[in-house]
Amino acid sequence: MPAYLQCFDPACAQRYPLGASDHVCERCGSLLEVRYEGRHEDDPAPPQKLRAAWLQRRSSNRIEDQSGVWRFRELLPFVSDTAQIVSLSEGHTPLLEVPKAAAYAGGVHLTVKHQGNNPTGSFKDLGMTACVTAARIFGNRVIACASTGNTSASMAAYGARAGMKAVVFVPAGKISSAKLAQALEFGATVIEISANFDEALRLLRSIRAELGLYVVNSINPFRFEGQKTIACEILEQRDWKVPDHIVVPGGNLGNVSAIAKGLFELKAWGFIDRLPRLVVTQAEGANPFYRLWKQKQQEIVSIANPSTEASAIRIGDPVNWKKAQQALLHTEGLCESVSDDEIFAAKEALAQDGVGCEPASAATVAGIKKLAASRQIEAGADVVAILTGHQLKDPESSLRRREEKDLARQRIRVDADLKKLRWALENVLHVEPQLSLK
């Protein structure tokens, strides 16, 4: 299928070549997206044959088949030569039942798609493998991003894999040390800007052309090509049964937009016969899209100083809001806003099922709970929540949130003395000492 870039705004629909250096329409200013010509009789295979081929590839040891993105490469035909693929065996993440979190969230049937199990610990790897592959195909040598942490870690890793230089713009003092350490370890140059994420991205876009930087933020349409495979993998893991709802945290709104693109294509090409309702959950201190949706605004109103402990979604001016808006409109979707307290309560609920995640991920479960309470999501609904990042991405916030009395029960210091150790364990475990038979 021939591939090209096209303005996302249907009123414009200006086409561009795949290698266009700027990912914004020069005619109307809207973002671009990758499009493919319609399926023809000479296309590789109908849906049932492709499903069988995708399953068969799981037993292959080829790197492109071990990837949960490139295993579905017929859906990403902008790559004609698989030798160009830059992969770290991303994707193939688990879909987990979480009965305790489901009860907490209001009695829905809840499973979580844990993207924290990706190579660098977040869903960003799915988009980055496609984005950096595109950069290689088009001959770029320096990749760059603005980031609250996860994008920088992912870009640095895939840049190292591809032998490219990587430059990261981060808001100074507002990035998790774990995420910063990842970017530095993979060799990226980190520019710490005395501003928030939105300003860092603006500065990067302003200087991009002058320095020849290939921007890999979610303004880059190839990110969506990788991330859209989340939808494909979820459906495959469910034997192609479509859930009632798919719930996604909302920051820059690229992930929900990408998942929507994947779902729209799968339906158009005959893989599924209906769409799930897409749901976006934002943090109260960084919720411009929620305000747009609830107030039925025509344009988004940015938040100058977004504030939330869920740093991965601490974004006040999301560039993909129009795509996210279309995603919700076309799926009869929902949007919710939750407090930090609600996010961390949901995080604790997930932990009771043995599932850890970064705070932004838990916004999904917090949002489901509120929507179930208001009956916008019905009891017993079949819901998939996307967990976007690993538990160890932001450990400091979790420790800060734990009350001293809880920590005191779990962190016990004793001398290297068996009697004192026995006493401490008997008290914390509430067990009677066992009589010795000797």
Q: Do 289 and 374 share a domain, yes or no? A: yes
pTM for the model stands at 0.92
What is the distance in angstroms between the CA of the first residue and the CA of the last residue of the chain? 78
Residue 433 reports pLDDT greater than 70: no
pLDDT at 42: 46
Q: For the chain, give the percent of residues with pLDDT over 90.
A: 83
Q: Report the distance separating Cα 155 and Cα 135, nearest Å.
A: 12
Q: Specify the higher pLDDT residue, 44 or 350.
A: 350
Q: Do 395 and 333 share a domain, yes or no? A: yes
Q: Residue 374 falls within a domain, yes or no?
A: yes
For residues 260-280, one letter each, b for 16 or more C-beta atoms within 10 angstroms of the residue's C-beta and e for the rest, the string is bbbbbbbeebebbeebbbbbb
Residue 307 reports pLDDT greater than 80: yes
Q: Residue 316 falls within a domain, yes or no?
A: yes
pLDDT at 438: 41
Q: For the chain, give the percent of residues with pLDDT over 70.
A: 95
Q: Do 337 and 242 share a domain, yes or no? A: yes
Q: Do 24 and 113 share a domain, yes or no? A: no
Domain extent at residue 249: 95-121+223-399
Q: Do 101 and 7 share a domain, yes or no? A: no
Q: Which of 213, 291, 225, 287 is nearest to 254 (CA)?
A: 225
Q: Are 85 and 63 in contact (CB under 8 A)?
A: yes
How many helices and strands in the chain, by DSSP H and E?
17, 13
Domain end point (choices 399, 416, 433): 399
Of 122-136, 218-232, 417-431, give the lowest mean pLDDT range.
417-431
Helices 288-295 & 321-330 angle (0-180, nearest 10): 50
Once rounded to an integer, what is the mean pLDDT over residues 338-363? 97
Q: Residue 350 falls within a domain, yes or no?
A: yes
Give tens-digit pLDDT for 103-122.
999 999 999 999 999 999 99
Tally of CB atoms within 10 A around 299: 8
Q: Residue 389 falls within a domain, yes or no?
A: yes
Query: What distances in angstroms separate CA 189 from CA 167, 183, 312, 348, one per listed residue?
Result: 5, 8, 20, 35
Q: Residue 257 falls within a domain, yes or no?
A: yes
pLDDT at 432: 55
Q: Residue 186 falls within a domain, yes or no?
A: no
pLDDT at 404: 61
- Domains identified in the chain, total number: 2
Q: Where are the beta strands (DSSP E) in 37-139?
A: 95-97, 109-114
Q: Do 267 and 358 share a domain, yes or no? A: yes
Q: Residue 206 falls within a domain, yes or no?
A: no
Q: Residue 239 falls within a domain, yes or no?
A: yes
pLDDT at 46: 86
Residue 44 reports pLDDT greater than 70: no
State the CATH number of the domain containing residue 268.
3.40.50.1100
Local confidence band at 1 (pLDDT 50, 70, 90 cut-offs): low
Q: Do 327 and 247 share a domain, yes or no? A: yes
Mean pLDDT, the chain, whole residue set:
93
Query: Across the strands, what pairs with 279?
Result: 247, 334
